[in-house]
A and B are shown apart, each in its own frame.
Chain A
Amino acid sequence: MFTLTCPVSRPARDHGAHHHGRDGRSPLLLAAALVVAVPGFLVAACSGQAGSSAAQNDAIAARAATGGKVPVARRRPDTLLAVRLLAQAAQAAIVTSYQGEEVVTRWSQSTGGSVLVSDIWHVSGGQTVTQTLDAGASSSSQPYRSSDDDGQAPEGVLGVTVPLVQLLETHYVVAYAGAGSAGDRTAQVVEAWRADGSLAARFWLDDATKLPLEREVYDTAARVISRDVFINVRFAKPGSAPAGTGASADPQGPWTDPFSQAQLLALRARGWLVPAQLPGGLSLFTGAETEASTGTVLDLGYSDGLSVISVFEQRGQLPASLAGWRKTTVAGHPIFVAEPDQRSLTWSGRGMVYTVVADAPTQTVDAVVGALPHDKPPGFWKRMTRGMVRLASWVNPFR
């Protein structure tokens, strides 16, 4: 993996730069908006993500009906095609044999830009090998392999997996935006729009295979906050293993298969904190656990289809200091943030260590950190009591 932090220039969003063919959008605002919003509401109601997802879709419908700035109606005729293309893309990431380089670029106001390059090999049917190109002392320099022989692991490329596509269609309005190109390959362009009418993401899907080739994610101010590009892509015949899949490690092996919704809810009875929703419209959609030497580690996955946040929980306490992490304050709470990626945050709270790994805007991450438990700073008497106990331990001759 090659990673660096640098002042990467942030491109401005350009609606017309990718030959999206948006001229064909219908001007039938009100009726079409309802046609788009109502299926979204029904999907949410049936998907087990009932709470805020349904409310959000309800809000989409309400805003569209009021004739706000939501350009939903213009996307209506292209929505069904977009849904079909995204489903094909998620499947293509599994059933197609391919290899290439994924270039992941992130922008944030606090850290500037960061670029990460990784080689990917995938064999049709389920095995994926990802290897970083140059990691120096980073912890993920070794290639890792993920197998999906039972079809349960949410494999994909550029964040296009089956579960995430379903969430994307629930939380956003997707629309086909015409033909385009990504690198030297022709592509179909699909867009995801927020309820307020702003563009949230744009996907370039390979015209021939529907494999995702590029993805851009925008914040509400129309700034690009991430760009993932799959370059130097080569396809192989189904069943033939791409070169480079031999040497691989399998560090994710101990994790269980993804939990079902019932299993996730049952975790609460075992004392785990399992919120169904997190701030930013993020819904719980997956989870798994593993046994480490220091106890059970639980992983909970939250997403709205574009932003993904993994919350890792483990009973215990953080040490006083962590190498490679720095102390900072988020949402008024003292926490550790990992260097250099700035995407991982960890803290102790009520006997549990929470570690958040985020692919999400900064404000969403801050809200999530604020919503999870933290230890309050000790009050005066508690601090005095603790100090007395410590002083007594110093003069205790039997210690």
Chain B
Amino acid sequence: MSHLGDRLSALVDGELDGAELDRVHAHLASCEQCRTEAAELRALKKKLRALMTGAPAEAAMTRRLIAMTGPGGPMPPRRRLLRVVPGHRPATGPEPGRPHAETRRPRAARHRRYLVLGTVSLVVGLGTAAFTVGGGGEAAPGPRITPSMEMYSVEHAITTGGVPFPGPPASSGPDSEASAP
């Protein structure tokens, strides 16, 4: 599990900048596990993009596959259960209209098997990838707020009749909340 959570996805997406980007880079410099996960995410993203850019070549393959089973071509042979009757020998040789059924059957079955395997692999791979990158915090709308602890601390001190206390340093990143007017 990454130490960076959804910031890893944000880094791969190029959504980080400023101090946040520096912090993530600093962590990556010292954490091999996160470096590995970042590299894997980048590779996944690259492959997905390649799928889109390589679409024409894939389309040609798809056309060929459709042509093999499309209208005008021979239908794949239907598997039949043969009843074996003693003394009766089933007819052999090509049926009328299906001259090469026995020779086409293994190739079509093989293609269908590849299609099923490819589809299953794609679904499992996409599902795993979606589950992985879908974790982390909710990307809900609204401004990113960094609590202004100096202001809060003083207000709390007035409420309690006490003194303000030191809090975390104010962030200088783009998410930082500007001081009140």
Q: A residues within 8 Å of B by Cβ?
A: 1, 3, 93, 102, 104, 116, 118, 120, 130, 132, 135-141, 144, 146, 153-161, 164, 228, 251-252, 254-255, 286, 288, 290-295, 297, 299, 301, 303, 308, 310, 312, 314-325, 338-341, 343-344, 346, 348, 351, 353, 355, 357, 359, 375, 378, 380, 382-388, 390-391, 393-395, 397
Contacts and interface: CB of A to CB of B under 8 A. Distances in A.
A394 B44 CA distance: 10
A290 B151 contact: yes
Given A252-B151, A299-B155, A387 B163 contact: no
Q: Counting chain B CB atoms within 10 Å of each CB, which of A299, A303, A394 scores highest?
A: A394
Contacts of A161: 160-161
Nearest to A318: B145
Contact of A140 (B45, B146, B166, B179): B166
Given A159-B160, A394-B45, A319 B129 contact: no
Q: Counting chain A CB atoms within 10 Å of each CB, which of B143, B145, B161, B180 scores highest?
A: B161
Contacts of B161: 93, 154-161, 164
A191 B77 CA distance: 96
Chain A to chain B: the 9 pairs with minimum beta-carbon distance, closest first:
A324-B168, A387-B134, A138-B166, A156-B161, A387-B130, A293-B178, A386-B134, A118-B163, A316-B145
Nearest to B144: A319
Nearest to B172: A323
B169 A351 contact: no
A46 B161 CA distance: 24
Contacts of B160: 159, 161, 164, 303, 308, 310, 359
A3 B165 contact: yes
B155 A341 contact: no
Given A139-B166, A139-B169, A293-B179, 5 more contacts: A144-B154, A292-B177, A293-B180, A299-B156, A315-B143
Nearest to B180: A254
A138 B15 CA distance: 30
A387 B153 contact: no
B142 A317 contact: yes
17 contacts: A120-B163, A158-B161, A161-B160, A161-B161, A294-B177, A297-B151, A297-B180, A303-B160, A316-B143, A319-B175, A322-B146, A344-B153, A348-B138, A359-B162, A384-B130, A385-B134, A387-B130
Contacts of A314: 145
Interface residues of B, number: 66
Contact of A324 (B52, B163, B167, B173): B167
Nearest to A120: B163
Contacts of B166: 1, 3, 116, 132, 135-136, 138-141, 340-341
Contacts, number: 255
Interface string B108-134: 000000000000000000110111111
A320 B6 contact: yes
A252 B9 CA distance: 38
B23 interface: yes
Contacts of A137: 169
B13 A394 contact: yes
A154 B7 contact: no
Nearest to B135: A383
B177 A104 contact: no
A114 to B, nearest CB: 9
Q: Counting chain A CB atoms within 10 Å of each CB, which of B129, B130, B181 scores highest?
A: B130
Contacts of A394: 13, 45, 48-49
A137 B169 CA distance: 7
A312 B168 contact: no
B19 interface: yes
B129 A391 contact: yes
B74 to A, nearest CB: 37
B168 A139 contact: yes
Given A293-B178, A344-B152, A384-B130, A310 B10 contact: no
B56 interface: no
Given A251-B150, A294-B177, A317-B143, A322 B7 contact: no
B177 A138 contact: no
Contacts of A157: 161
Contacts of A158: 161-162
A322 to B, nearest CB: 6
Contacts of A359: 156, 160, 162
Nearest to A357: B156
A340 B165 CA distance: 10
Contacts of A308: 156, 159-160
B164 interface: yes
Nearest to B132: A387
Nearest to A3: B166
Given A140-B150, A323-B168, A395 B52 contact: yes
B20 interface: yes
B38 to A, nearest CB: 14
A164 B162 CA distance: 12
A140 B180 contact: no
B14 to A, nearest CB: 10
